[in-house]
Amino acid sequence: MWEQLIEDVPRFFGFWNLMFLGQALLNTLLLSYLGAAFGFALGFCLAIGRHPRLYGIAPLRLLATAYVEVFRRIPFLVKLMCVFFAFQLSGAQASLFTVALVTVVLSAAAFAAEIARAGIESVPAPQWNAAEAMNFSRWQMLSRIIAPQSWRVVVPPLFGYAVGFIKSTSIASQIGVMELTYAAKILNTRGFSALLCFGTILVVYFLICWPTKRFGEHLETRLGQRPQA
Amino acid sequence: MGLTFLSIQGLSVSYGGKADVLRDVSLDVQRGEVIGLIGPSGSGKSTILRTLVGLLKPRSGTVTLDGQVVDYTSRASLRGARDRFAIVFQQYNLFQNMTALRNVAIAPTLVKKRAKADVEAEARALLARVGLAEKVNAYPDELSGGQQQRVAIARALALKPDILLLDEVTAALDPELVGEVLDTIRALQRDGMTMLIVSHEMAFIREVASRVAFLDQGLIVETGPPAEVFDQPRSPRLKEFTSRILRH
């Protein structure tokens, strides 16, 4: 088995395979980071729209809450299928990549909304009262008082989830999105050893996840420091 | 002849569907007056101040400020009222993410859109006035309770309020820090600042207040000059209250 493996290595890391894996890596990165970026942005909007002291309008609040509660409790694969069939039913022409991206965005938004809610609520009511009594607008309260004080609560779990989404994108291989896991499957069916195919993407996944986590930690310490006046 | 500066008529406040925490409270305040609000805990003293700045909604009654009725259901009217009141809280409520200077300067620059340089010069002067010139760049958690409360007073003064509302501003302080805050308030009284002061510091109220209102269970039971209220209480409830305080 080992002899076969060693024999395979130079052929496996040939130019075309590397191009193929590179393309897959790019898709994984796009799905994860674009998905997380849009998802987090949408999630923050949801958290703000849901908060009774910010922009909460009752029916909107109910809708946002229902969305957040439901989407956090459905497995990624099921969400993926739902989005897939939703696109089919609507008749919209969407690539498999788009279906996967929308799924990542929708689930990232639900988790980010919950994290942001916890962040907003970590700022004690007296801080709000002081700002409100001084005629701060809601946006001024949010941007000057609430957000700066909640980052430290929000950032660590956010990056925890970001790493989770990188791993979840592998599930998109189930509908045939050409990302890392799907690429490994294809190379495996072309006759390369499973150990080599999946061992390689294992290393690649780690190389994406680890710096992401480190960046989150870096941001966390940065936010802990105070700007000198 | 003094037109009543602040007039509270028949103010009732309830929250959480419970019985009224304020019941039919009426109080007239002239410009330059210092009103001491005293009474047992839960009697509604703080509720008056919080209602004036719109942190609680009145159920009924009217507040007239400088001849204009404040409509607490209208955003514009409420903004107008908040422009003229400034409140200092028991727990200081300084913005934790800002230095002392920024705490004092933020509302005038952000809300009142005044030039930053002017406001910061004023803020430095105000901090110097409350004895904290050295601490302009300190964050709240680097300051003692007494220092934080003085920053909070400077922050309120930076708004150039017509009426300053002080809500048990020494209640959370260590006894040895109370003096520095009271000195600051005494200086304001000498400058003619109109103030409503909720406090348990009876000796202090007696000294600075021009009039004292005694509240019990959401009602103003008695009002009058400090000497009268403290030395010749008429109602049994106030008699009981003052005798209990004097025993301390």
Sequence ranges of the domains in chain B: 4-247
What is the DSSP code (8-state) at residue B13? E
- What's residue A111's pLDDT? 95
Q: What is the Cα–Cα distance from B222 to B180, expressed in whole angstroms?
A: 30
Chain B hits for A135, Cβ within 8 Å = 79, 82-83, 107, 111
Phi, psi of B11 (to 5 degrees): -75, 125
Residue B95 has which token pair? 């913005």
Domain B4-247 in this protein, CATH class = alpha beta
Residue A6 has which token pair? 């060693």
Please write the tens of the pLDDT for every residue from A142-199.
999 999 999 888 999 999 999 999 999 999 999 999 999 999 999 999 989 899 999 9
> Which of A129, A135, A143 has the highest number of chain B CBs within 10 A, making it the mutation to test binding with B?
A135
Give the model's confidence band at B2: pLDDT under 50 very low, under 70 low, under 90 confident, else very high: low
Which residues partner with B239 through β-bridges? none
- What's residue B116's pLDDT? 93
- Among the listed ranges A201-210, B8-17, B53-62, which one has the minimum average pLDDT value? B8-17
Average pLDDT over residues B131-145: 94
Q: What is the Cα–Cα distance from A159 to A215, expressed in whole angstroms?
A: 8
Q: Please judge whether A135 and B96 are an interchain contact, meaning their C-beta atoms are less than 8 angstroms apart.
A: no
For chain B, which residues lie within 8 Å of any Cβ of chain A, measuring from their own Cβ? 53-55, 79, 82-83, 85-87, 89, 91, 93-97, 99, 101-102, 106-107, 110-111, 136-137, 139, 159
Give yes or no for a contact between A77 and A167, defined as CB atoms under 8 angstroms apart: no
User: What does pLDDT average to over chain B?
Assistant: 91
Distance from CA of A58 to the nearest CA of B (A): 18
Q: Please judge whether B107 and A136 are an interchain contact, meaning their C-beta atoms are less than 8 angstroms apart.
A: yes
- What's residue B100's pLDDT? 96
**What one-character-per-residue DSSP string does B145-208 give?**
HHHHHHHHHHHHHHT--SEEEEESTTTTS-HHHHHHHHHHHHHHHHTT-EEEEE-S-HHHHHHH
Count other C-beta atoms under 10 Å from residue B15's C-beta: 11
> Which of A123, A132, A134, A141 has the highest number of chain B CBs within 10 A, making it the mutation to test binding with B?
A134
Q: What is the Cα–Cα distance from A225 to B41, expressed in whole angstroms?
A: 40
- What's residue A23's pLDDT? 94
Q: What is the Cα–Cα distance from B244 to B230, expressed in whole angstroms?
A: 12
Q: What is the Cα–Cα distance from A81 to B41, expressed in whole angstroms?
A: 60
At the fourth CATH level, the homologous superfamily of domain A2-225 is MetI-like (1.10.3720.10)
Chain A hits for B139, Cβ within 8 Å = 226
What is the DSSP code (8-state) at residue B98? S
Using CB atoms, pick whichever of A126, A145, A149 lies closest to residue B89. Answer: A126
Residue type, B32: G
Please write the tens of the pLDDT for every residue from A17-27.
899 999 999 99
- Side by side, the strands of the sheet bearing B68-70 are B22-29, B6-13, B60-65, B68-70
Please write the tens of the pLDDT for every residue from B185-235.
999 999 999 999 999 989 899 999 999 999 999 999 999 999 999 999 999
Please say whether the dihedral angle defined by the alpha carbons of residues B110, B112, B115 and B119, taken in this order, is positive or negative.
negative
Q: What is the Cα–Cα distance from A127 to A133, expressed in whole angstroms?
A: 10
3-state secondary structure at position A12: helix
Q: How many CA atoms lie within 13 A of A211 on its CB side?
A: 7
Q: Please judge whether B95 and A131 are an interchain contact, meaning their C-beta atoms are less than 8 angstroms apart.
A: yes
Q: Please judge whether B107 and A134 are an interchain contact, meaning their C-beta atoms are less than 8 angstroms apart.
A: yes
Q: What is the Cα–Cα distance from B87 to B61, expressed in whole angstroms?
A: 21
Q: Does residue A228 register a pLDDT over 80?
A: no
Of B58, B50, B46, B73, the closest CA to residue B10 belongs to B58
Q: What is the Cα–Cα distance from B180 to B170, expressed in whole angstroms?
A: 10
Average pLDDT over residues B50-72: 93
Using CB atoms, pick whichever of A130, A136, A145 lies closest to residue B89. Answer: A130
Quick one: closest CA in A to B101, which residue? A229
- What's residue B1's pLDDT? 41
Chain B hits for A126, Cβ within 8 Å = 89, 91, 93
Quick one: closest CA in A to B77, which residue? A135
Question: Model pTM?
Answer: 0.85
- What's residue B246's pLDDT? 66
CA distances for A136 relative to A141, A147, A195, B26, B75, angstroms? 6, 14, 60, 29, 12
Average pLDDT over residues A213-217: 92
Pairing of strands B34-38, B211-216: parallel
- What's residue A229's pLDDT? 43
Q: What is the Cα–Cα distance from A78 to A175, expressed in whole angstroms?
A: 11
Residue B6 makes CB contacts below 8 A (sequence gap 6+) with: B27, B28, B29, B63, B64, B65, B66, B163, B194
Domain boundaries, chain A: 2-225
Q: Does residue A224 register a pLDDT over 80?
A: no
Using CB atoms, pick whichever of A132, A144, A148 lies closest to residue B55. Answer: A132
Give yes or no for a contact between A140 and B111, defined as CB atoms under 8 angstroms apart: yes
Q: What is the Cα–Cα distance from A181 to A191, expressed in whole angstroms?
A: 16
- What's residue A53's pLDDT? 82
Q: What is the Cα–Cα distance from A58 to A67, expressed in whole angstroms?
A: 14
Chain A hits for B91, Cβ within 8 Å = 126
- What's residue B19's pLDDT? 77
Q: Please judge whether B91 and A126 are an interchain contact, meaning their C-beta atoms are less than 8 angstroms apart.
A: yes
Q: What is the Cα–Cα distance from B110 to B119, expressed in whole angstroms?
A: 10
Chain B hits for A226, Cβ within 8 Å = 139
Q: Please judge whether B55 and A149 are an interchain contact, meaning their C-beta atoms are less than 8 angstroms apart.
A: no
Q: Give the residue carrying structure tokens 């959480």.
A: B16
CA distances for B220 relative to A111, A227, B25, angstroms? 50, 48, 6
Pairing of strands B163-167, B85-88: parallel
Distance from CA of A123 to the nearest CA of B (A): 10
> Which of B74, B87, B90, B95 has the highest number of chain A CBs within 10 A, making it the mutation to test binding with A?
B95
Q: What is the Cα–Cα distance from A140 to B154, expressed in whole angstroms?
A: 21
Residue A128 makes CB contacts below 8 A (sequence gap 6+) with: A53, A141, A145, A146
Please say whether the dihedral angle defined by the alpha carbons of residues B137, B140, B143 and B146, taken in this order, is positive or negative.
positive
Containing B10, the helix (H) or strand (E) segment is: strand B6-13
Please write the tens of the pLDDT for every residue from B192-201.
999 999 999 8
Chain A hits for B86, Cβ within 8 Å = 133-134
